[in-house]
């Protein structure tokens, strides 16, 4: 898939580079663009969603099967509904982000208890900002005087690909654009690449054409997880595919495309499509940005923050059936820890907060809080520990970029090598549940197939490549079983490092060589011209099929005659 020779365009500086270099280049390029040290800009990966944290609604990025009507996924950017979620669709004008939902995302429901405020929609969706004013962070692309900002302010929306790690605000930014564009009378339609069919795209296009022709209305099409469009869907997007296609429509302005992706678009988005879109690189949210988002959430819930300012001591934990009616407090430290641990993923952070509050309310434990000014209050207290528990349940303590990442993949590799299928599965799950990029694991499997299994079972390589492609097509979480199958196959497979080692010997031999390399023996050379023939090229070569008996012939240079790389240095 990732041929080393393939040239890809850096979405930041637009230079063409060999595919193998793009990731390291991007890191540098992003740093240079920023002028200051960036947090990791390496292509982010998808992390599994916190299913348990979404009691009443669904967040985008949910597994396809979790959507009862998998079919089309046109939906509105409605408050009551996250993009891509089924359910309330408006009849005729489906796809129009016209109606304003009743209940504001906004935050506080007057008079309601914290428990009531947590009901229904997941906190993260409810708090999705409507305007740039509430959109936190991403200054580099959205700050004052940036191109994107002025374009948005003038409602000149170009086709965009929003690339960034999970929960950094891609969908939210699209949502904000939707809001502002609908004020300008534009339509906003969303489609999820995980479940949309080619026909769905066609429908959107033809409706957009009608709208443009009849009402002079422009359509903005948001495609979430655009990297998931598979080969046939991508084909459909290509210009050669007659008038049904998408690209010409992007170009002539029938639709403005906004794609969101967690994957490096140079690899995952069709080049022709990519060249027609501006790539906006969003970063994972900083700890400070996360703190701001969490504070807003806490405020919206009516939870009070206990910090340095309001010194308190807590004691005498009791329990109360009515804990849900009591005031709820969260320690400032708990919020900053949460902001740190969620690793720039606002959805994880907000889900973690929601889980922690809900768990505390359900436990019914109350705490007597004594404040320095003398008063004491009985309430529900959320500490750092509770927040960590909330996160633990969402497994995000796995450190994707650091130590853990390398430790786990190494443990997986060694378990497969040691033919321990249980251990292999365990390490695989540790990584995937922790949000590891399945393609990273799949790439390692391809390597393992040759390095450790080799000719003992040459089919292993086919299995690994198939697993890689399968994962690429369907993504997490559906692809996990593909990797599991492959991992168990490999643990059970016979192993051979014969070729791996022999190839190492050959390389070693070349490296150790001093002086000019031996010439290719004349009889092995091809002689396409008279001159070459005269020079003795090909002379004496024995064409094997002409011989009944095995042919005696040297294939190595004279000085290496008799060398057996398969036996060299073997103990
Ligand atoms: N920059 C931000 N400012 C304020 N809130 C944010 C921001 N980014 C994310 N959020 C909050 O986090 C939630 C999830 O963000 P969003 O859906 O935009 O992430 P995403 O980048 O599209 O992630 P994914 O790739 O996982 O779909 C939002 O509903 C919103 O509440
Ligand atoms: Zn670059």
Distance CA 150, CA 106 (A): 26
For residue range 314-355, list pLDDT tens digits in order: 665 666 556 567 788 888 888 998 888 888 889 888 988 888
CA of 348 to the centre of ligand 1 (A): 9
Check whether 274 has a pLDDT greater than 90.
no
Among 9-13, 89-93, 558-562, the range with the most confident prediction by mean pLDDT is: 558-562
Sign of the Cα pseudo-torsion (313, 317, 318, 319, in order): positive
What is the position in ligand 1's atom list of the atom closest to the CA of 125?
29
Q: Which residues have CB atoms below 5 A from the ion given as ligand 2?
A: 10, 12-13, 29
| Range of 23-32, 175-184, 292-301 with top mean pLDDT | 292-301
Domains in the chain (CATH in brackets) are: 51-281 (3.40.50.300), 287-392 (1.10.8.60), 403-492 (1.20.272.10)
Residue in 347, 396, 476 to alter for ligand 1 test, most ligand atoms within 8 A of Cβ: 347
Q: How far is CA 41 from the centre of its chain?
A: 12
pLDDT at 270: 75
Q: Looking at residue 109, what is its pLDDT?
A: 45
CB 334 within 8 A of CB 388: no
**What is the DSSP track for 385-430?**
HHHHHHHHTTTTTS-SSSHHHHHHHHHHHHHHHTT-HHHHHHHHHH
Specify the pLDDT at position 91. 33
Predicted confidence band of residue 56 (pLDDT cuts 50, 70, 90): very low
| Nearest residue (CA) to ligand 1, atom 25 | 166
Reported confidence tier of residue 451, pLDDT bands at 50, 70, 90: very high
Q: What interface predicted TM-score (ipTM) does this complex get?
A: 0.95
Ranges 62-66, 108-112, 348-352, 530-534: which has the least confidence: 62-66
Mean pLDDT, all residues of the chain: 76
Please, which residues bridge with residue 369 across strands? 314, 377
For residue 127, the CA-to-ligand 1 centroid distance in Å is 9
Tokens 């434990």 label which residue? 365
SS3 of 47, please? coil
- Percent of the chain that is helix, strand, coil (3-state, to 5): 45, 10, 45
Q: What are phi and psi of 58, to 5 degrees?
A: -130, 145
Residue 371 CA to ligand 2 center (angstroms) comes to 54
Atom in ligand 1 nearest the alpha carbon of residue 346: 12
Residue position matching structure tokens 């740039």: 132
pLDDT at residue 403 in the model? 62
Nearest ligand (C-alpha, residue 138): 1
Can you tell me the distance from the alpha carbon of 248 to that of 545, in angstroms, rounded to the nearest whole number? 55
Q: What is the pLDDT of residues 218-255, one digit of tens each?
A: 888 898 888 877 655 655 554 444 444 555 666 667 78
Percent of the chain with pLDDT over 70: 72
Question: Which pLDDT tens digit goes with each residue over 5-28?
Answer: 677 776 656 677 777 777 777 767
Q: Report the pLDDT averaged over residues 38-53.
A: 35
The pLDDT of residue 170 is above 50: yes
CA-angle at 427, arms to 59 and 416, nearest 5°: 135
pTM for the model: 0.55
Residues lining ligand 1, Cβ inside 6 A:
60-61, 124-125, 127-129, 135-138, 164, 166-172, 260, 262, 293, 346-347, 350
């Amino acid at each position: 898939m990732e041929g080393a020779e393939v040239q890809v365009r850096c979405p930041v500086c637009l230079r063409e580079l060999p595919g193998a270099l793009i990731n390291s280049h991007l890191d540098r390029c992003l740093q240079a663009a920023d002028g200051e040290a960036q947090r990791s800009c390496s292509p982010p990966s998808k992390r599994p969603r916190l299913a348990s944290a979404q009691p009443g609604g669904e967040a985008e990025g949910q597994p396809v099967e979790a959507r009862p009507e998998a079919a089309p996924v046109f939906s509105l950017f409605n408050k009551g509904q996250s993009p891509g979620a089924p359910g309330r669709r408006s009849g005729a004008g489906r796809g129009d982000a016209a109606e304003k939902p009743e209940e504001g995302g906004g935050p506080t429901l007057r008079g309601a208890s914290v428990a009531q405020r947590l009901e229904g929609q997941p906190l993260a969706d409810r708090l999705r900002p409507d305007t740039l004013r509430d959109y936190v962070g991403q200054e580099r692309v959205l700050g004052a005087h940036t191109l994107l900002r002025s374009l948005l302010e003038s409602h000149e929306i170009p086709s965009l690909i929003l690339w960034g790690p999970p929960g950094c605000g891609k969908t939210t930014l699209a949502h904000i654009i939707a809001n502002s564009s609908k004020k300008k009378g534009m339509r906003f339609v969303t489609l999820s690449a995980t479940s949309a069919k080619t026909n769905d795209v066609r429908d959107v296009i033809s409706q957009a054409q009608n709208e443009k022709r009849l009402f002079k209305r422009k359509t903005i099409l948001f495609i979430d997880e655009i990297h998931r469009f598979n080969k046939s869907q991508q084909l459909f997007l290509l210009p050669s595919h007659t008038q049904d296609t998408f690209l010409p429509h992007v170009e002539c302005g029938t639709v403005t495309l906004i794609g969101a992706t967690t994957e490096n678009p140079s690899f995952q988005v069709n080049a022709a499509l990519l060249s027609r879109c501006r790539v906006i690189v969003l970063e994972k949210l900083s700890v400070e940005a996360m703190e701001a988002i969490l504070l807003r959430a806490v405020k919206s819930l009516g939870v009070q923050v206990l910090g340095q300012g309001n010194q308190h001591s807590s004691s005498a934990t009791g329990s109360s059936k009515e804990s849900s009616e009591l005031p709820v407090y969260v320690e400032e430290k708990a919020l900053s820890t949460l902001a740190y641990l969620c690793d720039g993923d606002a959805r994880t952070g907000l889900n973690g907060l929601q889980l922690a509050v809900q768990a505390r309310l359900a436990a019914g434990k109350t705490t007597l809080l004594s404040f320095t000014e003398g008063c004491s209050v009985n309430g529900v207290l959320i500490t750092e520990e509770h927040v960590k528990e909330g996160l633990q349940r969402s497994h995000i303590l796995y450190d994707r970029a650091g130590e853990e990442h390398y430790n786990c993949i190494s443990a997986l590799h060694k378990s497969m090598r040691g033919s321990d299928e249980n251990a292999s599965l365990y390490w695989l799950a540790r990584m995937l549940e922790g949000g590891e990029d399945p393609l990273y694991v799949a790439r390692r499997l391809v390597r393992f197939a040759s390095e450790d299994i080799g000719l003992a079972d040459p089919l292993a390589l086919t299995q690994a490549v198939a697993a890689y492609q399968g994962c690429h097509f369907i993504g997490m979480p559906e692809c996990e079983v593909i990797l599991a199958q492959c991992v168990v196959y490999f643990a059970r497979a016979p192993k051979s490092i014969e070729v791996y080692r022999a190839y190492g010997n050959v390389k070693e031999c070349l490296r150790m060589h001093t002086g000019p390399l031996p010439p290719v023996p004349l009889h092995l050379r091809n002689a396409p011209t008279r001159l070459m023939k005269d020079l003795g090229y090909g002379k004496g070569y024995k064409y094997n099929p002409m011989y009944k008996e095995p042919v005696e012939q040297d294939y190595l240079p004279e000085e290496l005659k008799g060398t057996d790389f398969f036996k060299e240095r073997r103990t």
